[in-house]
Amino acid sequence: MNAVAEAALYTGGEIVTLDPATPHAEALASAGDRILAVGSAAECRGALVAAGARDFAHVDLSGRALLPGFIDTHLHPVMLVYYDMNADLHGVRSIAELQGALRRRASDLPPDEWLIGLRLEDETLAERRLPTRSELDAACADRPVVVVKHDGHGAAANSLALASAGIDANTPDPPGGRIARDRDGRPLGPCYEAAAQRLLGRAPAPELARLKSAASRSFARLPACGITSAGVVLQTDEEGPAGAAGSLESLALQLLLPELPISTYAILVGRSVAAAVAARATPLHDPAAGRRVGGFKIFSDGTFGSCTACMHEPFSDRPGERGFMTLEDDEILARMRAAHAAALQICVHAIGDRAIERCIDLYQRLLAEAPRRDHRHRIEHASIIAPEQIARIARLGLCVSTQPLFIHSEKDWLHKRLGAERAKRVYPLRSLIDAGVLVAGASDAPVESLDVLHAIQCCVTREGFEPQQSLSASEALRLFTSDAARLQFEESEKGTLRAGLRADLVLLSASPLAVPATRISEIRVLRTVSGGRVVHDAGEA
């Protein structure tokens, strides 16, 4: 659905503006892609008449809640489509169950097609590990098979896939990657970071017609969750979770833009800052259409789930491992300098405490060399942070893009991986906000669900995980609205309900501020409006 924008008057419900000057309103008027007025019903009717919009739709909210459209500051749109096109292994609970799922999937595929399985949660398998190549061969030996972890930073392959990627006993670990091996040095099947990217890079890219067909369905899930704007992460070369196959992500999204019914803030990933600058001359950058190229992403480490997050001390359940940096400091700093000079927002993926320390150190060097008052450079994820690191982040004016649903996915095994003391420092949203750090919300989809309301609930309840870092419902809501807009330099364009801003709206069955915290995720998205156009309607509005 992508209806023509029409003038509208909304009354009869709770209008939550997220504007501190007028937090609540009786009515809202919009025309074209803009909000005309927020205030009393009489004021809003008058604004419509003054604008010449006499034939407007009157939307009776019937006691329900109208809010600013949600903003997800970090997701992977092309990977979202790719994941929907392949086998979803979420919920598999043992290697035997995995083998059965792979056999069933193989029976549905042409004989020569790679079998790709995604979102495998190895931490919740009975064996608590990735499958070996022999276990994957036992399930399917007649075609290449690659099974990707839930976090996207590790994968396991059968013998044919390893051979296709040129990985054997003589293959060294690639820079920024690791190949799991047996005692004789032969590949076991699991690969991490750059080595996993090498596996996925060998899989044939899907045909454009199939990609476009899948995209219309995948992208419809965004407004169905109330999302009207997203920070879209796109590879420009083989550096990134999708390996060589991901080098086409930027081009692919340009071709898929007609299927994407929301506004976008593009964050480019790759070795070359020049490629990100060049993207400003593509359809990804069309401010009049709500599309901007704004960020440049750099990977510095991996994840907790793959034990590749770079830590000061070893993981509690893997005594010999403490993760690693995926790039050398000099390379990270060189990319930072180039992006900073090009007026791009720097977005550094840093999860482990040592990676975060290195990231802060490098930002400090950069900003000492080339000060900029309102840079809003970012740390993506910032998963485990010490109090002294939080203070430095605040002093440097750095921002954080956080993924609250990581708490939901990781809470059952993080204490085992990190130990009770370190777990107290994981996703410290309360401490970050209290220190004055700008924090905004994201899903990292398809790694996590697009469900913003569940993410808001996770911020408030923490699902029992380190509850001292809980936020209020109002603070959590701002992560996905006004604070998300600020993170993307778009506070004068979206994130609150104010006259002159984009008509990005979400109609909910109830306000997240008015229900018990444990029931926020039960709220239904009834209608989503992006730039004045209805892009989702559940049929209940």
Locate the domains of the chain by residue range. Answer: 8-69+504-537, 86-202
Residue-wise pLDDT for 4-49, tens only, equals 678 999 999 999 999 999 999 999 999 999 999 999 999 999 999 9
Residue-wise pLDDT for 185-231, tens only, equals 999 999 999 999 899 888 888 888 888 999 999 999 999 999 999 99
**pLDDT > 90 in the chain, percent:** 92
Residue-wise pLDDT for 111-169, tens only, equals 989 999 999 999 889 999 999 999 999 999 999 999 999 888 999 999 999 999 999 99
Q: What is the mean pLDDT of the chain?
A: 96
- Tell whether domain 86-202 is in CATH 3.30.43.10: no
Look up the pTM and report it: 0.95
Q: Taking the C-alpha atoms of 458, 459, 464 and 465 in order, what is their torsion angle to the nearest 10 degrees?
A: 110
- Residues paired with 157 in a beta bridge: 146
Superfamily of domain 8-69+504-537: Urease, subunit C, domain 1 (2.30.40.10)
Structure tokens belonging to residue 229: 């704007």
Per DSSP, 174 falls in state P
* 53 vs 138: CA distance, rounded Å: 67
Residue-wise pLDDT for 507-533, tens only, equals 999 999 999 999 999 999 999 999 999
* 481 vs 228: CA distance, rounded Å: 10
**314 close to 393: Cβ distance less than 8 angstroms:** no
Torsion-angle region of 91 (φ positive above 0: left; ψ -120 to 50: alpha; else: beta): left
Is pLDDT at 54 greater than 90 in this prediction?
no
- Of the candidates 110, 184, 108, 199, which has an alpha carbon nearest to the alpha carbon of residue 148? 199
Residue-wise pLDDT for 252-306, tens only, equals 999 999 999 999 999 999 999 999 999 999 999 999 999 999 999 999 999 999 9
Using alpha carbons only, how large is the chain's radius of gyration in Å?
Answer: 23
- Which band of pLDDT confidence, cut at 50, 70 and 90, is reported for residue 541? low
